[in-house]
Chain A
Amino acid sequence: MSDEVVYWLQQTLNALQLGSIYALIALGYTMVYGILTMINFAHGDVFMIGAFFCFLLSSMLGLTFAPTLLLTMLGTALLGVVIERLAYKPLRQAPRVSAIITALGVGLFLENFTLALSPYPKHIPMLLENVTWNLHGISLSSIQAVIISLSLGLMLLLDYIVHRTSIGMAMRAISWDKTYVPLMGIPVDLIISITFAIGAGLAGAAGTMYALAYPVIDPYMGITVGWKAFICAVVGGIGNIRGAMVGAFILGGVEIMVVAFFPSTYRDFVAFTLLMLLIVIRPYGILGKPRIQKV
């Protein structure tokens, strides 16, 4: 292959890795919005807590990759459920602004709680043996391969749960209507808890993989990544699960390609201008459907 082709394939691989991580976080935003029409601004910080769980499990307890990933997902899933029960459930009937402010508060609490424990950036030990394969000049590291394949696997699993199981059907029903669905015998609180658990669990997986790829973590790491994932969810059509994945890979691709073409200072400027244009053309997102508000 020519150098040019190798270069672009390499950048595509970089984009896939970045997009996978955005997608896992964006799913949490979109699921919660879909079911409660609420923007969970603390989600980026749940992702950060996931990375810190990964640090505690791998560097303090010395666990290997698979148990670290599973326990981190379990831990953040639990955290997601606790946050929903303590902070959001009492406000379910309150004006939507109250819930959003509470979410911002929960996010700040998580950041500053972690900061109070230790302000130092943490280094994650090498959890996977780092092998770099050379395929006709394209280098693929074992970490990239794991991140991309594991994220795609989790996304397929989620897609299956939402579209092919009874829990998924209940989720979709609640997102459709909250007044009559409980009358059909669907346990609304339980389904909402499960939604938060799945969303936060995916954020935990994203945190672990992020910590693998970028092994220096700090309490503020969730802010920017969280915003970007939220934007991915909006671009894809908030509330739509496949849309969040599409949005994430678009943002990852644009970010990498802008840096490949222009000075990296233009990255966020070009990326977000493109995304805004997309929103102007399709206000409900790429896969989103306009919701008719009945009076």
Chain B
Amino acid sequence: MRKTISLAPLFVVITTLLLASCGDPTNKKDTIKVGLIVELTGDMPAVGASSRNAAQLAVSEINAAGGIAISGKPHQVELIIEDNASKADQSVAAANKLISQDNVVAIVGPNASLGAIPAAEIAEYNKTLLITPWSTNPKTTLDTSSGKPKRYVFRACYTDPFEGRVLARFVIDKLGAKKAAVLYDVASEAPKSQADQFRQTFTELGGQTVAFETYTTGDRDFSAQLTKIKSTGPDIVFLPAYYNDVGLIAQQARRAGINQPLVGSDAWSSPELIKLSGGGVEGDYFANHYATDIATPTAKKFIAAYGNKYSNTPDDVAALTYDAMGLLFEALKKSPTLDRIAVRDAMSAISDYNGVTGTIKFTTDSGDPVKSAVIMQVKGDKFVWVMNAAP
């Protein structure tokens, strides 16, 4: 009996707290909740930080301009940021939390395909719009069971097969390569599909893939693979790897006496690459989403605003996140209500969005935009534009 009495006030307190946390429903109407899943810790914290910075910039700009009008009533955008630690399981947990607990209208991110693919499954299942800025893997926007595109998943970047084709053509046409060696992370989705597509196109165009070597995420010693590659005498080494791996591989390759050009993917494009590689990638090439030295007026405005706020140059993840946010705002402006399905329909109707990374348009029933790539070269501590690669 005494126990019941002592517990009673506690019960009242808990009930009050629970009721209070449900919140005032009238307050909700003035904000649009947008979720952001980024890689703040784990293997690629530089990617996550850039993405978060760009998203925060986009949100503060739109809120300063009066927010977004939904059926004539202005709404402020509220960004809810979740860290996925660059892991698949934590991406799923973050997507579930944003959708069911925070009740967001749409999600931007994750950036790496490793997290974007599982998060996209969750978004599709819950009929919630998800825009990934940087995930280039075809499976992100593809429903693997039916082979048809997912309805609720979009991306702001091009895809891996596209990038693999562009790079294979580039090394044959511009670098005159006849024999290519490939070294990639077999446990990571994006590098794997880029490597496969590169080999296929390179062979079709008359080249010969002399070595097709793999490693696993977290490996530090590449001496065995590099010794093997060196013995096959390639003209170039294709290295579709994340910047932190490239830093190690490039230095070990140079030490092992491989002096041929290294060619990489958009995963190279972080200013950290120059620091981590200690001069090992000087003069090497990679494909990217945009180039700061041939910027359009839209891009120049973004680069200036980003530089003012964070005092550095935005990398491609930042630019693509900014575009992903821009695409979402465009869809919200056109959507009659904040209903998730209405927002998705407005998104797929975007026909020519003038973004930082070029003109983006969506074709019917596909979350993959139509856009082009650029080829960059590492010179000193800068990435320099070489050419535009036609789709």
With both beta carbons as reference points, the residue of chain B lying nearest to A125 in the complex is identified as B278
Q: Which of B46, B215, B257 contacts A120 (CB 8 A)?
A: B46
A221 to B256, CA, bound (A): 23
A115 to B133, CA, bound (A): 26
B185 CB, nearest partner CB in chain A, Å: 10
B384 / chain A contacts, CB cutoff of 8 Å = none
B220 proximal to A (CB < 8 A): yes
Q: Are B278 and A119 in contact (CB under 8 A)?
A: no
Q: Which of A220, A224, A265 contacts B186 (CB 8 A)?
A: A265
Q: Which of B43, B213, B221, B256 contacts A214 (CB 8 A)?
A: B221
A216 / chain B contacts, CB cutoff of 8 Å = 220, 244, 247-248, 276
B228 proximal to A (CB < 8 A): yes
Chain B contacts with A in 200-243, Cβ cutoff 8 A: 213-216, 218-221, 223-225, 227-228, 231
- Chain A 116-156, CB within 8 Å of chain B: the 1/0 string? 00011101011000101010000101010000000000000
B251 / chain A contacts, CB cutoff of 8 Å = 215
Q: Are A14 and B223 in contact (CB under 8 A)?
A: yes
- Chain A 207-230, CB within 8 Å of chain B: the 1/0 string? 000100111101011001100000
Q: Which of B42, B223, B228 gathers the greatest number of chain A CB atoms within 10 Å?
A: B223
A290 proximal to B (CB < 8 A): no
A289 CB, nearest partner CB in chain B, Å: 33
A269 CB, nearest partner CB in chain B, Å: 11
Q: Are B224 and A264 in contact (CB under 8 A)?
A: yes
A185 proximal to B (CB < 8 A): no
Tell me the count of chain A residues lying within 8 A, CB to CB, of chain B: 40
A214 to B251, CA, bound (A): 8
B71 CB, nearest partner CB in chain A, Å: 42
Q: Given contacts A120-B272, A123-B275, A215-B248, is CB(A7)–CB(B257) below 8 Å?
A: no
A123 to B245, CA, bound (A): 12
A240 proximal to B (CB < 8 A): no
A3 proximal to B (CB < 8 A): yes
Q: Which of A123, A125, A132 contacts B247 (CB 8 A)?
A: A123
Q: Are A264 and B225 in contact (CB under 8 A)?
A: yes
A121 to B47, CA, bound (A): 12
B224 / chain A contacts, CB cutoff of 8 Å = 11, 14, 255-257, 259-260, 264
A121 to B251, CA, bound (A): 16
B42 / chain A contacts, CB cutoff of 8 Å = 119
Q: Are A263 and B214 in contact (CB under 8 A)?
A: yes
A218 to B41, CA, bound (A): 11
A195 proximal to B (CB < 8 A): no
Q: Given contacts A14-B224, A216-B248, A264-B225, is CB(A119)–CB(B255) below 8 Å?
A: no
B220 / chain A contacts, CB cutoff of 8 Å = 210, 214, 216, 221, 225
Q: Which of B224, B272, B278 gathers the greatest number of chain A CB atoms within 10 Å?
A: B224
Q: Are B41 and A119 in contact (CB under 8 A)?
A: yes
Q: Are B223 and A256 in contact (CB under 8 A)?
A: yes
With both beta carbons as reference points, the residue of chain B lying nearest to A210 in the complex is identified as B220
Q: Are A14 and B227 in contact (CB under 8 A)?
A: yes
With both beta carbons as reference points, the residue of chain B lying nearest to A18 in the complex is identified as B221
Q: Given contacts A7-B231, A132-B255, A143-B255, is CB(A17)–CB(B216) below 8 Å?
A: no
Q: Are A215 and B45 in contact (CB under 8 A)?
A: no
B248 / chain A contacts, CB cutoff of 8 Å = 214-216
Q: Are A264 and B213 in contact (CB under 8 A)?
A: yes
A221 CB, nearest partner CB in chain B, Å: 7
Q: Are B215 and A264 in contact (CB under 8 A)?
A: yes
B104 proximal to A (CB < 8 A): no
Chain A contacts with B in 13-40, Cβ cutoff 8 A: 14, 17-18
A141 to B219, CA, bound (A): 20
A10 proximal to B (CB < 8 A): yes
Q: Are B244 and A260 in contact (CB under 8 A)?
A: no
With both beta carbons as reference points, the residue of chain B lying nearest to A258 in the complex is identified as B224
Enumerate chain B interface residues (CB-CB to A < 8 A): 40-43, 45-46, 186, 213-216, 218-221, 223-225, 227-228, 231, 244, 247-248, 251-252, 255-257, 272, 275-276, 278
Some 9 contacts from A to B, beta carbons below 8 A apart, are A18-B223, A123-B275, A125-B278, A214-B220, A216-B244, A218-B244, A225-B220, A259-B224, A264-B214
Enumerate chain A interface residues (CB-CB to B < 8 A): 3, 7, 10-11, 14, 17-18, 115, 119-121, 123, 125-126, 130, 132, 134, 139, 141, 143, 210, 213-216, 218, 220-221, 224-225, 255-257, 259-260, 263-265, 267-268
